[in-house]
Structure formats: structure tokens, C-alpha cells
Amino acid sequence: MLHPVTPKCRYLRVPSPLPVSIVILTLNEQGSLPGCLRSCSVSDDVHVLDSGSTDQTCSIARDHGKQVWTNPFRSFGAQRNWAIDNIPTRYDWQLQLDADEELTPALIREIASVIVSNPQHAGYFIPNKLMFLGQWLRRSSGYPVYQMRLFHKQRMRYQDHGHGQRELTEGTLGKLREPYLHFAFAKGLDDWFAKHNRYSTQEVEQYLCQSAESDWSGLFSQDRLRRRRAIKAAAFRLPCRSLLRSLWVLIGQGGLLDGRAGWNYVRMMHCYESMIDLKLKAARHAASASSVRP
């Protein structure tokens, strides 16, 4: 069950330093890392977990006085678990970010109010503001979309799911209201499309492994996060899925109101969803052909 933070907590004074350890995941992030590090300056325990950068990422982190750890990247879930298990963080509460994400003053105040209350939750989901062409894609991104970012390191593990990860814990979970900023296009569109080509393959593999585990009751859940995940799983069974999704984002979610940036983002996501559809069709065809082959 998810438990939101009460609004009155957001205005408490931020402890200095913030008693939260921050781990930043990087791979060739020399353009994004300085901004991320500046936004994390409220903590005196910031670590960079790199997975093999060939640019100046590690040098930038060390120039900012941060300790750099290295571990080959296998998946987001594995990398986040490696950070939990191997980085000797100063505090029990840990905040994990990607280098293209930045904290805001309002989110820092909310995190501080949560931590000083000695919470018993295993972790907190945090929404993010997706930024594109200098604009927040409020409607076309489906805001709020939550990620497990703040957690107690003794109470949380991650498991891989599709191209990302999901939380693995027996503890209760909460939600924060204030978002962090996500600059997902900081490396340019070539990088975005290359990543989403890989992501589409991982999404298909995930679906084929767990297609029988759809959460049908979740479609009617009052919990927005559970409902979103259930809709995503159920949508794989729909014909013309990528087209229907694009129409829903543009009209149902009001993505058209995000202007040109929103329209372009929806076009890009349509390409991504179309890749998933084509790869799923190809995988099913290959499986069918192998089953009838003598």
C-alpha cells in the first residue's frame, strides 16, 4: 500500500547536511553530470557509480570531490543492487539518481521532512518532470510517473522488469509529491533512439516471459501506479497498440496542449512503440516457425 506524504511536512527546514546518501549512475555523462552534482550539494555523501565511461565523466566527478565506483552495467536492477551492496554509504537512507536527473529545492525540502520523521517505510516513489526542448512535457509524458528513488538500504532491493526495474521489498511504500527533473534528451536524439531500440527488445522479452501474469484487477485500482502498470501490460494484447497509444496521449491525456515539443515527443514514442510491436510480431513468428519445423 502506498502512503503519500502530508503537505504540511514540505515546509520544514532542511537539515544541513541532508542525512541522505546519494548515488548517481553514469555512463559517458560529462554533459549532464555537473548539473546533477550541483543539485545534490545539500548532501555530504555523494557517490558516482560508473559503468565504463570513455569521456570525462569520472574526472568531473573527482574534480567535484566525489568518490567514483565502477561496475560493468548488466541491467538497471543489477546496478542499483550493486550500489546497495557494495558502496559504504554514510547514511541508511539512500537516494539514487541517473546523471540526467536533478533535484529541486522543493523536493529536497520534502525529502528532509520525511527523513527527520524517522519513517518506517522501505522507500518512496518520486515523480519526475520530463524536460524536452526546454519545456516540461506535463501532459504528453503522463505526469506524474513514479520511480523508486528514495529508500532505506536495509529494506529495499530491485528486480529487473523490461528495460527498467521495479522495487522488491516486504516493507510498505510511500509517495512524495515533489518531482525531480529528468533531462532524458541531454545526449541528443541519436542517443535516445539507440537506447530505445535496446529498450524495445527488453520490453518484448519481458512481455513474453510474463504475459500470463497480467494484473487485471489492477486496471480498476485507485492506486495510480498499479493502474498504470496494469494498463501497460494489458495494452500488449490490443491490435494497433502503438497507434492507439499515440492517439490516447495526444487527445486523452491532452498532449496536444504541450505544443510542438509534445507533438514531437509523441511522434518519437510512436516510433518506439512501433518497434516493440514489430519485434513482438517477429518473435511470435519465429516461435511458431520453430514449433512446426521437423
pLDDT in tens, the chain (294 residues): 455 554 444 445 677 799 999 999 999 999 999 999 999 999 999 999 999 999 999 999 999 999 999 999 999 999 999 999 999 999 999 999 999 999 999 999 999 999 999 999 999 999 999 999 999 999 999 999 999 999 999 999 999 988 889 999 999 999 999 999 999 999 999 999 999 999 999 988 888 887 545 666 776 677 777 776 676 666 667 778 889 889 999 999 999 999 999 999 999 999 999 999 999 889 888 887 776 666
Output the nine-digit C-alpha cell for 135. Answer: 519545456
Q: What is the pTM of this model?
A: 0.83
- 277 CB-near residues (< 8 Å, 6+ apart): 241, 242
Q: What residue ranges define each of the domains in the chain, with the CATH number in brackets?
A: 2-182 (3.90.550.10), 189-289 (no CATH)
Question: How far, in Å, CA of 103 to CA of 120, rounded?
Answer: 23
- 59 CB-near residues (< 8 Å, 6+ apart): none
Which helix (H) or strand (E) is 30 found in, with range? none
Beta bridge partners of 102: 181
> DSSP 3-state assignment of 26?
strand
Which pairs count as long-range contacts for 225-230, CB under 8 Å and 24+ apart, including other chains? 225/2, 225/125, 225/146, 225/175, 228/142, 228/145
